[in-house]
Structure 1
């Protein structure tokens, strides 16, 4: 029986994006969408263009041609903090925390991305400032509870284990109130047990109403947590579909195994 469930709205649209660095084409006319409420995996062999694509979305690079839109709004020419305010948050492959700040303070920094409190509100601790601060504190503690490190909220971020620092970075990104949460290699450095826990956390984040983009090398994790997958190779999109469709796609098999497509089919 055919699936009659209506397709969800496209939250992020990558529309015919090309990026060139001198004579090198890092992305070549790539198009795909991320739908509201889904977990989309962006995968490909080393050098496929995944990180370049990620950096275009988040304002690190500007597209040579084509466009990225978030909730219908073009991200072209926007600074990174403006893109965050529009609702796109990211974590990094190399963890970037404020190590000399507490766990709770790190998350509060994320919450400040949408603060409407002015200088004089803060200077004189006017009611609006106090109310905003209390709301941000409650939200930060709730996020730390969600990612499983609430008990360590008073610890310095530097004192957390590697896995806990990963969880803290996710909580800080979520504190910005994103429409789309982008996770860049979140399982890097994890052991198998930690990867299972990460899969559970990503699903829990989605269940809280977030849309998630996942760049990840661990294929078992990607296949186990995503709703759809986009595959890049040498800057081009070579496949898109469900995990089951991608697993059996000859072009994807050829890209990862380095064999001809005909041999993989």
Structure 2
């Protein structure tokens, strides 16, 4: 994995809101085919960093590069088309649409069918629609809810809505799939199932960035972990290294680093 190329590079990124420094010279990379965990205590800057990567915020200084393309200044839809997809802490589904329709919306991000094709339902439009339909069902099968494809999204359980959101993000055809707190609200059994799903997603050829509070889940599913505290990177390494790192223990327990060593 160490020889894999970097898909996303966070290069000396600082983000300031007025007098507040939310990210302070943060640097790390996400390598092709890995599951990278981004963790830290509440207020560490995880979601802020996530939002810089996905175009919600523009870095004050430094660069974010995706396969060599600098993302600064690009609109979010352009970033999606380049190959970055995300889920959200708060589920954002089209609740009145069916499960299948929600996933097909994701496919529209790369659709080349124009207004004329859609208006007159040209052969090109029908072929594209059929391909989108088949892909959506395939993704629903991967996340385990294909049998419920005709149900309205609001009727799904909380856990299945999370799975649906992941399928919709996958439908955009990303090279990097960013999951923001996907285990929020899950019970222990659901978290175990989520770990299996994340591994399965990676095995389908996706690179995964995972932001998550649950340390057991992160330790059990990631290849590498980056740790933030107060907007600074304090550690990076394999799960076993992070588990025993005095700076990380101190950050989570609220003690001095010397006391944690």
TM range (shorter): over 0.9
Please report how far the alpha carbon of residue 240 of structure 1 lies from its aligned counterpart in structure 2 after TM superposition.
0.1
Report the secondary structure of 2:248's partner residue: helix
Is 2:175 aligned against 1:179? yes
Separation (CA, whole Å) in 1 of partners of 2:26 and 2:61: 10
Which of residues 107, 114, 126 is equivalent to 1:111?
A: 107
Is 2:15 aligned against 1:42? no
Separation (CA, whole Å) in 1 of partners of 2:258 and 2:43: 23
Separation (CA, whole Å) in 2 of partners of 1:212 and 1:6: 15
Report the secondary structure of 1:28's partner residue: strand
Unpaired runs of 5+ in structure 1? none
Is 2:149 aligned against 1:164? no
Partner of 2:245: 249
Partner of 1:120: 116
Is 2:115 aligned against 1:98? no
Q: Deviations over 1:59-95 (max 9, x none)?
A: 1000000010111111100111111000000000000
Partner of 1:65: 61
Please report how far the alpha carbon of residue 230 of structure 1 lies from its aligned counterpart in structure 2 after TM superposition.
0.1
Separation (CA, whole Å) in 1 of partners of 2:129 and 2:75: 26
Separation (CA, whole Å) in 1 of partners of 2:187 and 2:148: 22
Report the secondary structure of 1:146's partner residue: helix
Is 2:141 aligned against 1:145? yes
Report the secondary structure of 1:168's partner residue: helix
Partner of 2:126: 130
Q: 1:200 to 1:6 in 2, by over 3 A?
A: closer
Please report how far the alpha carbon of residue 57 of structure 1 lies from its aligned counterpart in structure 2 after TM superposition.
0.5
Q: Deviations over 1:161-188 (max 9, x none)?
A: 0000000000000000000000000000
Two-structure CA RMSD over aligned residues (Å): 0.7
Separation (CA, whole Å) in 2 of partners of 1:6 and 1:199: 22
Structure 2 length normalisation: TM-score? 0.99
Separation (CA, whole Å) in 2 of partners of 1:237 and 1:123: 51
Moved over 6 A (4+): none
Structure 1 length normalisation: TM-score? 0.98
Partner of 1:22: 18
Please report how far the alpha carbon of residue 6 of structure 1 lies from its aligned counterpart in structure 2 after TM superposition.
5.8
